[in-house]
Amino acid sequence: MSGADLPSSLGAPSPSPSESEAPDGVLARAAARFTAWAERWIPDAFVFALVATFIVLVAAIVTLRHKSGVLGATLDAVEIWGNGFWELIPFTLQMALVIITGYVVATTRPVYRLIAALASFPRSPRVAIAWVALFAMLSSWLNWGFSLIFSAMLAKETARRLEGVDYRAVAASAFLGLGSIWAQGLSGSAALQMATPSALQPGIRTIVDGGGKIPGGIIPLSHTIFLWQSLLSVVVEIAIVTALVYLYAPDAGRARTAQSMGIELGASPLDREDPPVKGTPGEWLEHSPILNLFFVALSAIYLVRYFIKSGQGLNALNLNTINLLFLTCGVALHGTPARLMRAVKEATPGVWGVILQFPFYAGIAALIVKTHLNEKLAAWFVGISTPKTFPAVIAIYSAVLGVFVPSGGSKWVIEAPYVMQAAHDLKVHLGWMVAVYDLGEALANLLQPFWMLPILGLFGLKAKDVMGYTFLVFLVLAPIVLLLVTLLGATLHYPL
């Protein structure tokens, strides 16, 4: 990517000349009004973490006060919160690396040559916009951090190559993987947390264990994202969203192109040159592929031995192996340490939200588990649900909560204690409930612009420019998800 493009992808978006114009169509106009309201009234996601901490702390004090009075309960709750605050440090780094390694792979020259080839395929604006949506979803199944950057680059390259492409619509398409199937894929936070022993607190594992029903509280990927029901859900969502995007995409006559919006697309990233090498021994090492090849060989040997010794096939995938796989690909494809370091440096500003917020969610989870609030919340869900309706209830709840807590991994830390407890109580397949959570959580990204921010700057757009389209996808996809989780859930049996 050009020097101007990459830094701006993680910075403040430039003003869009289209801000005063509402998109065509009743639903799109309603979405524009919703976005304007959200931008005015909804604060940053970190504010929600602070508010949630206060609310859960008060609930914990109320729960504990009968034992030691208000003062004692307050001190006990604060101690629980403080002890739990740092319990997810390994997971915080793991999630930050999901973003970084995805970005590292997407910005390699071989991958961008693939992007350029894909961008040259469509011959009409409507096909191009649906084409970007399709590959946004397919790539998000592999890795959502990779998809976020890969799809944005594909959308921008498509706009460079094909006249008459609506810039707002193609930019919105780049985000649809995170608004649909990402959490059902290989980087789905909740599924990987359930399969990775270090990714959840021991208290949550005990709840999932259910008295030995699920040993160790570990749920392998074969019982979450690799269930045939989960894979079928992915196929259905991809087909419906791709068709929907093709139908709503403006044709060339109604399109708002990048040029008409006054947005400069710049040169192709393939034209970017490496800085000159001065020839010192240190710089020679930075620009030599020798060390990269050594790391790739080392990592490849480890990963092959790991999968062979595990004897579990794809079930051996977890956050650590996913991140190492992507890092190894990035090191290999960048070729030299200098290119790799530049990519990592450009990616790191995008992880500040994860680093700042996750400890707060760990503290919230500790309060929920150690004061037994999870049991009260589970009892409430059991009271309003039956085994057949429970998946739909949780999908709706996860989507609503996701608007205010826009992080699948940290939100699962909060939800897992009472969702898993209720699943045991109602005798619902626990692995499917992880998939249900994922399907509902992804819908929230169509309404919440938090994860759009890293790429909106690359496009030179604001959230209101694209959320008319993402809101329309939400209106169509939400009832389909509720139908899927209900019908497919009926084919599974407790506990796994």
Highest mean pLDDT: which of 22-31, 73-82, 366-375? Answer: 73-82
Residue-level pLDDT at 275: 62
> Is the pLDDT assigned to residue 22 strictly greater than 60?
no
pLDDT, tens digit (0-9, with 9 covering 90-100), for 133-177: 999 999 999 888 788 888 988 998 999 888 889 898 899 999 999
Q: What mean pLDDT do residues 457-480 have?
A: 85
pLDDT of residue 466: 84
Mean pLDDT for the chain overall: 83
Q: Where are the domains of the chain?
A: 5-489
pLDDT at 14: 40
Query: Per-residue b/e over 69-82, b at no fewer than 16 CB within 10 Å?
Result: eeeebbebbeebbe
pLDDT for residue 32 is more than 70: no
Kindly report which listed range (150-154, 160-164, 373-377, 383-387) carries the lowest average pLDDT score: 373-377
Residue 378 has pLDDT above 90, yes or no: no
pTM: 0.74
Alpha-carbon distance of 34 to 30, in angstroms, equals 6
Say yes or no to pLDDT of 401 above 70: yes
pLDDT tens profile 410-450:
788 888 888 999 999 999 999 999 999 999 989 988 987 76
175-179, 346-350, 455-459, range with the lowest pLDDT: 455-459
